Amino acid sequence: MGNRLSKIYTRTGDDGSTGLGDGSRVQKDSPRVAAYGTVDELNSTVGMVLASTGVDEAVREALTQIQHELFDLGGELCIPGMAMIEDADIARLEAVLDTFNEPLPPLKDFILPGGGMAASCCHLARTVCRRAEREVIALRRVEPEVRPQTQRYLNRLSDLLFVLCRVLARAGGHGEVLWQHERRRKPAAS
């Protein structure tokens, strides 16, 4: 690791700009900063899942690995031209997803966020992941050199997080919260 921060505030961002990993400066509301900032937020929400009680070791291991990969992904977005997320990372996510999804019953209804604290935190992580994916898509539209692996990784991760929501809701004893679509049906007119 390069220079460590010994002083947290620098005042260099007081003008609304921030430094990228390559030393260039951009506005804090640029698409690139929005993308890696949302990935950072996603990593924080994954940390909330890990801080929840009742998360079994297999889920914990998967999410800890994901946190490291999200830090890599954020670094890739922060340093133009950097490549850190590889196809092998995406394939690993798919294998983990298949492992957790295989014992689950097929879905017949939509699931609402809930099912206990760990599952609820995972639902939050899933929705932040979808936003991060949208931010990366927006960034790739204006900076096409951003690698497609970042977008594909986030897409697959949101799928995995959805499956983990189901796993955590069941493991916590709360069960999945199903959308009650029947509640809107009105009796037929006679």
Residue 2 has pLDDT above 60, yes or no: no
Which pLDDT value is given to residue 59? 98
* Confidence label for 27 from pLDDT (cuts 50, 70 and 90): low
Higher pLDDT: 178 or 120? It is: 120
Residue 1 has pLDDT above 60, yes or no: no
Q: Which long-range contacts (CB under 8 A, 24 or more apart) does 136-140 make?
A: 136/35, 136/77, 138/31, 138/34, 138/35, 139/31, 139/32, 139/34, 139/35, 139/77
Structure tokens at 43: 């990593």
What is the SS3 assignment for 103? coil
**Residue type present at position 93:** L
104 in Cβ contact with 166 (< 8 Å)? yes
Structure tokens at 52: 């929840």
* Count of other CB atoms within 10 angstroms of residue 55: 22
Residue 4 has pLDDT above 70, yes or no: no
Burial 1-14 (b: 16+ CB within 10 A, else e): eeeeeeeeeeeeee
Residue 33 has pLDDT above 70, yes or no: yes
